[in-house]
Structure 1
Amino acid sequence: MAKIALGTTSEAALPELWRALVVEFITTFLFVFAGVGSAMATDKLEADALVALFAIAVTHALVVAVMISAGHISGGHLNPAVTLGLLVGGHITVFRSLLYWMDQLLAAAAACYLLEYLTSGLTTPIHSLASGVGYLQGVIWEIILTFSLLFTVYATIVDPKKGALNGLGPTLTGFVVGANILAGGAFSGASMNPARSFGPALVCWNWTDHWVYWVGPLIGGGLAGFIYENLFIFRPTTHLPIPIEEEAF
């Protein structure tokens, strides 16, 4: 069973950690900028609901695939739920995870504030539950969708025995994000990412249903990381946390 490593504050003195944090900020910023920007664009163009959903799904799929690849120094998490999933699998320390979470939230907020300025105050769409979708239903949607995301990350990127999938992980992860938005976007919004939901909520100061987009993704991400790491990855020696720059994700 993978062990969660606490880490120490001495990690803050490591140059590689700060390089990783800078890269994580940049990639998360660009991911949120494109993702939220696509939602704002479809609103401005008054696109048909189905067309808008498809456009948003494709945008997220493409930007996730690219930013994971571009963020290889930090691992390209882009998402507190991904960081948690890797934490419970023993791939990153608690101390670094906390720094990553702060980094991701700051990047998401910065991207959304910039979008508000660049669009002359156009409303930033928040994630909220659709009419007729209750809190429990919304949480379950987000648990399943985020579980799917992290299971894909582990199977195609983290697992050392990924075989023919080697190198395809970022693209396949982008595909599952896009598919999940098509499946759940009309119901829960298919966030799968607390930072992606946090930025728009902060800018609009509209926290309707916001807790759902923390509880669901963190449960789903943590559960997927724990299950895959402990049931499907076999290591001949005790698994130790991998330095950030050596991670595949």
Structure 2
Amino acid sequence: MQSQGTMCGSCLSDRSGLCSTPAFTHPAAFLRFLSRCNCQSIMVAFKGIWTKDFWRAVSGEYLATLIFVLLGLGSTINWAANQETSPPVNIVHISLCFGFTIATMVQGFGHISGGHINPAVTAAMVVTRKLSLAKALFYVMAQCLGAITGAGILYLVTPAAVRGSLGLTTVNSNISLGHALLVELLITFELVFTVFATCDPKRSDLKGSVGLAIGFAVVIGHLFAIPYTGASMNPARSFGPAMITLNFENHWVYWVGPILGGILAAGLYEYLYCPDPEIKKRLKQVFQKDESGKYREVEQEDIAIMPGSIHAIDLEKSEKKDSFQDSTGEVLSSV
């Protein structure tokens, strides 16, 4: 028994363009059928990756994360650690360094890559359809490699006597892992919500520097959470020193917490608090009944605007239409 014809331009097909693969005669044949029919979707998902602008953006994420991790972790080095009366770690000093560094990196690389510098921000962009999943994978890899490089450089230039744990984020022994997960979720929620709110192109009341506002959000998160979890707010920031020191104790907390917090913040902002009026209008049209009482047929352009749909964003078009951009030209968005 053959399956019904399905449009698949890359499959073996007859002149009508309908796939005639016998999909259901055997499980293996069925899997081959699915893979052929999905090949076109995969090609669309990776559209725009093999361009100069895209790789410039990916390299920008790598370099920005490298600098952020190098300078941020450097502020945690206790140079008096080899003295008999070593002063305690200065939380304000560390918080300000991380915050001002991220503000500077956003200002410097925002127009190049969008200035994510954080897998949690990248995940938030994916769930709000501002970045394709395929491109997000390259962004996260660049961020992680940049964090490893930054932590590695700091390891090389810092004397072993004062190197310590190299700024490794660890859970306070007085709290549970569940509480640590919640802390990371909340501080990343605060950060990502600030990102979306300060870079919302629908707002006309924004003034000042977007990068500085985001930097302050990072400072606030660190001032609160350093005693609890070390205040990661960024999986790449925790991954870099963990990889260099080969210490991955409770490391999952610093991936699950920030990514969940980022996704939750992005979803609430985009779909509950400040939804795009155009999307709401189109969704009403999609789910509108015709005269016969049936819902009208969903067209391809309708699918592209539905929340949760996975689609690729063309690089050149996204620079003009889909970028978060404020009055100063700073971009914190997707490519």
3-state secondary structure, aligned to 2:229: coil
Residue 130 of structure 1 corresponds to 172
Distance across 1 between alignment mates of 2:231 and 2:314: 30
Distance across 1 between alignment mates of 2:194 and 2:314: 19
Distance across 2 between alignment mates of 1:245 and 1:29: 24
Q: In the alignment, is residue 44 of structure 1 matched against residue 83 of structure 2?
A: no
Gaps of 5+ in 1: none
Q: In the alignment, is residue 183 of structure 1 matched against residue 221 of structure 2?
A: no
Q: In the alignment, is residue 108 of structure 1 matched against residue 152 of structure 2?
A: no
Gaps of 5+ in 2: 1-40, 283-304, 306-310, 324-330
- Cα distance, 1:87 vs. partner? 1.0
Query: What fraction of aligned residue pairs are identical, expressed as a percent?
Result: 34
Residue 58 of structure 1 corresponds to 96
1:193 aligned to which of 230, 234, 237: 234
Q: Which is richer in helix? A: 1
- Cα distance, 1:101 vs. partner? 0.3
Counterpart mapping for 1:1-249 below 5 A: 8-40=45-77, 43-46=78-81, 48-49=87-88, 52-72=90-110, 73-121=112-160, 122-123=163-164, 124-157=166-199, 159-166=200-207, 168-231=209-272, 232-237=274-279, 239=305, 241=313, 243=315, 245-246=319-320, 247=323, 248-249=331-332
Task: Map Cα deviations across residues 122-151 of structure 1 (whole Å, 9 max, x no partner).
Answer: 231210111211100000000000000000
3-state secondary structure, aligned to 1:45: coil
Task: Map Cα deviations across residues 182-236 of structure 1 (whole Å, 9 max, x no partner).
Answer: 0111111110100000000011101111110001001000111111111213232
3-state secondary structure, aligned to 1:13: coil
Task: Output the aligned Cα RMSD.
Answer: 2.0
* RCO comparison, higher one (Cα < 8 Å, 6+): 1
Which of these two proteins has the greater Rg computed from alpha carbons? 2
Distance across 1 between alignment mates of 2:254 and 2:91: 19
Q: 2:270 corresponds to which letter in structure 1?
A: E
Kindly indicate whether the alpha-carbon contact (under 8 Å) linking 1:91 and 1:242 is maintained by their aligned counterparts in 2.
no
Kindly indicate whether the alpha-carbon contact (under 8 Å) linking 1:74 and 1:245 is maintained by their aligned counterparts in 2.
no
3-state secondary structure, aligned to 1:39: coil
- Cα distance, 1:48 vs. partner? 3.9
- Cα distance, 1:8 vs. partner? 2.3
Q: State the TM-score, normalized to the length of structure 2.
A: 0.68
Distance across 2 between alignment mates of 1:167 and 1:87: 27
- Cα distance, 1:167 vs. partner? 5.1
Distance across 2 between alignment mates of 1:146 and 1:16: 29
Distance across 2 between alignment mates of 1:172 and 1:162: 15
Q: State the TM-score, normalized to the length of structure 1.
A: 0.90
Distance across 2 between alignment mates of 1:69 and 1:128: 29
Distance across 1 between alignment mates of 2:268 and 2:87: 39
3-state secondary structure, aligned to 1:44: coil
- Cα distance, 1:166 vs. partner? 4.5
Higher mean C-alpha deviation, range 28-37 or range 7-16: 7-16
